[in-house]
Amino acid sequence: MSTTADSSKELHKTLTISRGVGLAVSMIVGSGLLVLPGLAYASVGSAAVFAWVAAAIMVIPLLLVFSKLGSRYPSAGGVIGFMQAAFGRRVASPVAYVLLGATACGGAAMAITGGNYTAVLLGMPDAVFPATLAYLAVVAVLNALGSRLAGGVQTVVTALLVLLIAVVAAVPFVTPGFEMQGSVSLPVNWLDLLPAVGLVFFAFTGWELVASTTEEYHDPRRDLPLVLAASFVVIVVLYVGIATAVQVSLDPNDPMVRQAPVAAVLKQVFGAAAGTAAAVLGALIVFATLMGGTWATSRIIFATARERLLPARLTVCNRVNGAPVAAIVVAVLMFGTVVVLHGVEVLTLDQVFRLSAVNFIIGYAMSALAYGTLFRGPRNWLLVVLACAPVVVLLIGFGWMLLYPLGLLIAGSVVHVLTAEKDPVPVAAPPAD
């Protein structure tokens, strides 16, 4: 860590459109891609691929919200910056803590999943915990070496990941003698797709993390909409491709459909080596996701500290490479704390995932409300309704887990009161649409 004399409090503007797309894709595409296509298929049968299309359509209003907010109000805090612009520090402070709670559990879930895949590759099923810690250490070092290097690594890894996923999606259609076990067909009743749509919608979460990269573009107004549009197209093509491959390759009653559908598709080509191939793909997906998640979390920590809600030391960046090293260390320590709680069986992996999801969904809803405040008019309010509708429905299913974000909201409000300046922070005036 550089001394204050050799450091600054400004993030370097190193993100290009290509690096931004690589970062965005890696933040969205998670290990759920290896399981969710099978779960949706088992749920609604041969029409399941259309659940992925429907979920993609549902997320478009949220993308439009993040695109416009991020273009007009670029901030390392992402959602925090949007809330600050719309409602001031009083509301932004508790939301900042909700996002930190989301990323703590989300990063830990990715690290644990990566440790599982790595242990499988090494043939050491008892080595999940040390493999998880090794995952975190490598990701921390790469992020600390600077956004230019980390972004370059991210672009290369994401390109390789996209290529591998595309290969898996193409397997049933290019392999000679490949036997089709299933099919794709239109749903008899489109309402029957709703359970599967709710299930696969989680594969499209993560855009609030992408919003935290906006401060590092040279021209966010030009670059961010292009990055979001390009990454969305890539992600939808990959998801629909994998879902189609699973459906035409497997019988919906095959037990592997629910457990490891991608591995089952690969088994028809690679045989006994399919497990290793799936583990390699899974480890690569998790590595890319955790790299992007650590990047985003450190920026959220950086922005939260800049609002005096965390120690000021966390706003210091390395002057040479622009990395907020202290914030990166804290991000990894947050992940590690939740990993330890999982290791001592305080939290199950499912609970870790769900605790992350409930906070992120609240972040979505708050972003939509900020959009409605900053951009007035019937057309914009309609977009807010379309963006909020799916996330409100999803929140209902979390039950007692809603206590977690509630506790974080209270903590953030207390910290706001303790650190507030005498002069109120003005709310940004709505810009011309």
pLDDT digits (tens, 9 = 90+) for 242-283: 899 888 888 878 777 776 787 777 776 667 676 777 778 778
Element (H, E) at 317: strand 317-318
* C-beta of residue 275 within 8 angstroms of C-beta of residue 55: no
Element (H, E) at 401: none
Under the banding of pLDDT at 50, 70 and 90, the label for residue 10 is low
Q: Which residue has the tokens 């900020």?
A: 370
| Burial (CB count <10 Å: 0-12, 13-18, 19+), residue 121 | middle
Q: Which residue has the tokens 């709670």?
A: 101
Mean pLDDT, residues 421-430: 47
Residue 178 Cα distances to 109, 250, 264, 272, 274, angstroms: 35, 11, 13, 16, 15
Under the banding of pLDDT at 50, 70 and 90, the label for residue 184 is confident
- Global model pTM greater than 0.95: no
Mean pLDDT, residues 69-81: 87
Among 114, 36, 119, which Cα is nearest to 285's?
Answer: 114
| Those residues with Cβ within 8 angstroms of residue 346's Cβ, 6 or more apart along the chain or in another chain | none
Mean pLDDT, residues 385-411: 85
Spatial separation of the C-alpha atoms in residues 100 and 81, rounded to whole Å: 14
Q: How confident is the model at residue 364, as a pLDDT?
A: 84
| Burial (CB count <10 Å: 0-12, 13-18, 19+), residue 361 | buried
Under the banding of pLDDT at 50, 70 and 90, the label for residue 291 is confident
Spatial separation of the C-alpha atoms in residues 365 and 342, rounded to whole Å: 28
Is residue 299 left, alpha or beta, with left meaning phi > 0 and alpha meaning psi from -120 to 50? alpha
Under the banding of pLDDT at 50, 70 and 90, the label for residue 227 is very high
Q: What is the pLDDT of residues 24-62, one digit of tens each?
A: 888 888 767 877 888 888 888 888 899 999 989 988 988
Q: How confident is the model at residue 176, as a pLDDT?
A: 66
| CA–CA–CA angle 13, 19, 20 (5° rounding) | 75
Spatial separation of the C-alpha atoms in residues 143 and 136, rounded to whole Å: 11
Q: Which residue has the tokens 């478009």?
A: 60
Q: What are phi and psi of 329, to 5 degrees?
A: -60, -45
* C-beta of residue 94 within 8 angstroms of C-beta of residue 408: yes
Q: How confident is the model at residue 9, as a pLDDT?
A: 61
Please tell me the total number of residues recorded for the chain in this structure.
Answer: 433
| Percentage of the chain modeled with pLDDT above 90 | 21
Element (H, E) at 51: helix 49-72
Q: What is the pLDDT of residues 123-144, one digit of tens each?
A: 787 788 888 888 899 888 988 8
- Residue 52 tokens, joined: 């992925």
Among 341, 271, 326, 282, which Cα is nearest to 108's?
Answer: 341
| Burial (CB count <10 Å: 0-12, 13-18, 19+), residue 255 | exposed
